[in-house]
Amino acid sequence: MGLLNDLKARFQRERVTLALDDIQALILRSRPEPYVGIHAMLHFDDAEGGRDLVRRLAAHIPSAAGWTDDRDAWTGAALSFQGLKALGLPEASLKSFPLPFQQGMAARAEQLRDVDVNAPEHWDEAFRPGACHLALTIYARDAAALETARTKAMDELARSHGVTLVGTHAFGADADAKNPFGFRDSISQPAVAGSGVDALPGQERAIAAGEFILGENSETGAPVAMPDPPELGRNGSFVVLRKYASQVGAFNDFVRSHAANESDEELLAAKLVGRWRSGAPLILAPERDDPELGADPARNNDFDFSKDPRGFVCPHASHMRRLNPRDSRLTILTDVNIHRIIRRSSTFGPKWSREVTAADDARSERGIFFIFISARAYDTIEFLQQEWINRGNFIDLGTERDAIVGLHETPGSFTLPQSPVRRRLDGVTTFNQLKGGEYLFMPSLAALRWIGEAGWAR
């Protein structure tokens, strides 16, 4: 059925309590399958010209009012702190933003553990500090629809003065929506209370809307602090954008080196991720892949880890179990629901092949744009990077890091729980190298118009 069609089938308009007509569609709307698209990074050289472009682009950004409806393409826009500053926002408004957002992602490298090969000095030019003022994202069902939407956006850019296009990057995936490592991704998304779509089996309940939409009550019972004035902050959200170059050959080589045959390779790869390549969770398909299960939104998230406390089926160290513990016993306790994020990630480069080796990684660029949306996205990504990705204390694994997105300055290890003695697999390297990123603010549609018209000057 596909995730978008499943959401459409379950949508109940009478359950909507959010101001969907003011929220950017990209926050709630899942990408199509298959999908193509582009990320465009823009820099404002002139405040008036930049505001003019924001005002023009706002007319092309759909609201979430029809977020489950069929659509050929849709566009989203988000601004960095330096971008808001360049547009001339008042000092009081700028100071009302959270400190991590004000500083920008590059300045938060220590908190994010972005060092060694992931350090900002190695990032693409479009993501160097202060370069990206506005990130424009377009998702489309096919190349023709993408070109139509891209042309509209570029025409608006051409009509505006004092704005520079500093980078573009195409992305896309076939109907199986697999990432560079051959795994179907973006399967597990939180249900947002008030969006009109209830939680799927296994999701327990919808997460309070304020965890994703500013101005709404969060899991604490009160709204997350939002930028001032309300015309700027209300119905917006924060975005974490991170571009990774995937070392697919190095990953393949690691799996091959610890497996006796192709079947063992597939099982080990699934243990590293927590799901089979089809998206079927290990906890429901412990011995072999089940593509039918992986493609079924009503079943592929209907599980927890309460019956696998020792991680014999799905290792505690697996990428999925680290980032969504689902009733696992954690050595360091935390409220999992306040660390939930909406993911709008996208894949670029050639499709996964078993034949790719580490020697091929430098010859062909493959990767992922991680896009995390949350009212506290900056806090969540820094927590995840510090505690759940680049440490193992919370699952009693000491310094062991996430094998998929963790940084490994020196080769690390992956632990497979077994009886009587667990198996330790050495030789894990950095399979996803950071090539840039930024903290962004995704304003409501009304706020985009307010910014474009310099509403603070009235």
**Following DSSP, what letter does each residue of 182-247 receive, concatenated?**
S-B-S---PPBTTSS-PPPTTS-SPBPGGGTSTTSB-TTSSBPP--SSHHHHTT-EEEEEEEEEE-
Task: Say if 105 falls within a structural domain.
Answer: yes
Per-residue pLDDT tens digits for 215-233 = 999 999 999 999 999 999 9
* Residue range of the domain that includes 60: 3-244+437-457
331 pLDDT more than 50: no
Task: Provide mean pLDDT across the span 89-112.
Answer: 98
pLDDT of residue 114: 98
**pTM reported for the whole predicted model:** 0.94
Q: Examine residue 161 and state whether it is found in any structural domain, yes or no.
A: yes
pLDDT at site 6: 66
Task: For residue 201, tell me if it sits in a domain.
Answer: yes
Arithmetic mean of pLDDT over the chain: 92
* φ, ψ of residue 79 in degrees (nearest 5): -120, 140
Asked if residue 181 belongs to a domain, the reply is yes
* Residue 57 to residue 445: CA distance in whole angstroms: 10
Is 318 domain-assigned? no
Per residue in 30-83, pLDDT tens? Answer: 888 889 999 999 999 999 999 999 999 999 999 999 767 788 999 999 999 999
pLDDT at 332 over 50: no
293 vs 291: CA distance, rounded Å: 5
Residue 333, pLDDT score: 42
Q: How does residue 185 score in pLDDT terms, banded at 50, 70 and 90? A: confident
Confidence check: pLDDT of 3 > 70: no
**Residue 328 in domain:** no
Number of domains within the chain: 1
User: Which amino acid is located at 383 in the chain?
Assistant: F
* CB neighbour list of residue 90: distance below 8 Å, 6 or more residues apart: 456
Residue 236 domain flag: yes
In the predicted structure, residue 135 carries a pLDDT above the cut 50: yes
Q: Is residue 316 part of a domain?
A: no
- Predicted pLDDT at 72: 93
76-86: pLDDT as tens digits = 999 999 999 99
Q: Per mean pLDDT, which range of 182-196, 286-300, 444-458 is the poorest?
A: 182-196
**pLDDT tens per residue across span 344-400:** 899 999 999 999 999 999 998 999 999 999 999 999 999 999 989 999 888 888 899
